[in-house]
């Protein structure tokens, strides 16, 4: 599964890239459906986040490395290199800019609801 990540650059700014979270076929189920899973990981505190229509957050850091699963609305993130990207319901992104200047966030269509899945420190999405 390809996921957009935003991260802290060497100069303390922020930028986007993409990482793969491997989804590997395991075995067919009793009905011969091919099942596939990522590697398991423990998450310390899954939460649902809601932001009202029109909300804007100036430069800030992600509170932790986490997968964010969009449930509702349109959310836009801006990085210090001038890029902006948007996510809609059903899409996943990976904030990892826990230091440096961070990113901006804005509700484009709202309210926005997101599930936050914090990642353990040793979780490498490409492993």
The per-residue pLDDT for 85 is: 97
* pLDDT at residue 127 tops 60: no
Total number of domains in the chain: 1
pTM, 2 dp: 0.83
Q: For residue range 39-77, what is the model confidence (pLDDT) as tens digits?
A: 888 888 899 999 999 999 999 999 999 999 999 999 999
Q: Is residue 123 part of a domain?
A: no
Kindly state the tokens that stand for 60.
């800030």
| Cα–Cα distances in angstroms (integers) from residue 23 to residues 40, 66, 77, 90, in the given order | 11, 18, 26, 17
Query: Pseudo-torsion of CA 97, 99, 101, 102, nearest 10°?
Result: 20
Q: Is residue 127 part of a domain?
A: no
Q: Is residue 126 part of a domain?
A: no
Q: Is residue 124 part of a domain?
A: no
Residue 72: Cβ-neighbour burial (10 angstroms; 0-12, 13-18, 19+): middle
What CATH number is associated with residue 63? 2.60.120.10
Domain span at 32: 2-118
Q: Is residue 54 part of a domain?
A: yes
Residues 6 or more apart whose Cβ sits within 8 Å of residue 82: none
């Amino acid at each position: 599964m390809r996921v957009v990540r935003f991260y802290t650059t060497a100069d303390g700014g922020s930028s986007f890239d993409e990482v793969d979270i491997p989804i590997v076929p395991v075995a067919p189920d009793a009905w011969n459906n091919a099942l596939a899973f990522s590697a398991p990981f423990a998450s310390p505190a899954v939460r649902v986040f809601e932001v009202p229509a029109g909300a804007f957050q100036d430069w800030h850091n992600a509170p932790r490395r986490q997968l964010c699963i969009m449930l509702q609305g349109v959310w836009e993130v801006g990085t210090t290199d001038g890029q902006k990207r948007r996510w809609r319901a059903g899409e996943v992104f990976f904030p990892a800019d826990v230091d440096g200047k961070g990113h901006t966030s804005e509700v484009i269509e709202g309210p926005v609801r997101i599930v936050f899945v914090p990642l353990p420190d040793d979780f490498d999405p490409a492993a």
